[in-house]
């Protein structure tokens, strides 16, 4: 029996569908139509709200953090849909990094990244 599909994959598929069909009454459509500046602003806003909520004490703070994290993930997934990046690609990248020290992974990326040509 196959495991149930994760809500993040379902959301990714829904956002891809919204990108294709552009329903007029969709908040996602409005974000996609506004493009990167609007989507990026929402991600920045939601990231700040997650950080703020994380500083709130007790169960209320934990629940607020959870809600804000969900908002941030939604807006990040809108950005991925806008760029045609499938959630499976993000999962594959996370899987590739799994079990590797974050410091070692970052150092390996620096070695494999060609220097930028500032003359262009």
pLDDT at 8 over 60: yes
Which domains, and CATH codes, for the chain?
7-112 (1.10.287.1080)
Q: How many residues does the chain have?
A: 120
Spatial distance between the Cα atoms of 80 and 118, rounded to a whole number of angstroms? 28
Output the six-digit token pair for 22.
């552009």
Output the six-digit token pair for 74.
């939604």
User: For 66-76, how does the pLDDT look when each residue is reduced to its tens digit (9 = 90+)?
Assistant: 999 999 999 99
pLDDT at 120: 47
pTM of the predicted model, to two decimals?
A: 0.81
- 120: exposed, middle or buried (Cβ count in 10 Å: 0-12, 13-18, 19+): exposed
């Amino acid at each position: 029996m196959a495991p149930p599909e994760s809500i993040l994959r379902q959301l990714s598929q829904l956002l891809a569908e919204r990108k294709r069909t552009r329903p007029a009454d969709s908040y996602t459509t409005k974000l996609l139509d506004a493009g990167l500046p609007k989507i990026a602003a929402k991600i920045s806003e939601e990231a700040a709200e997650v950080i703020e909520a994380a500083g709130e004490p007790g169960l209320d703070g934990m629940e607020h953090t959870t809600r804000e994290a969900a908002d941030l993930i939604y807006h990040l997934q809108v950005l991925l849909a806008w760029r045609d990046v499938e959630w499976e690609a993000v999962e594959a990248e996370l899987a590739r990094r799994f079990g590797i020290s974050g410091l070692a992974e970052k150092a390996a990326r620096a070695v494999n990244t060609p220097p930028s040509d500032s003359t262009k």
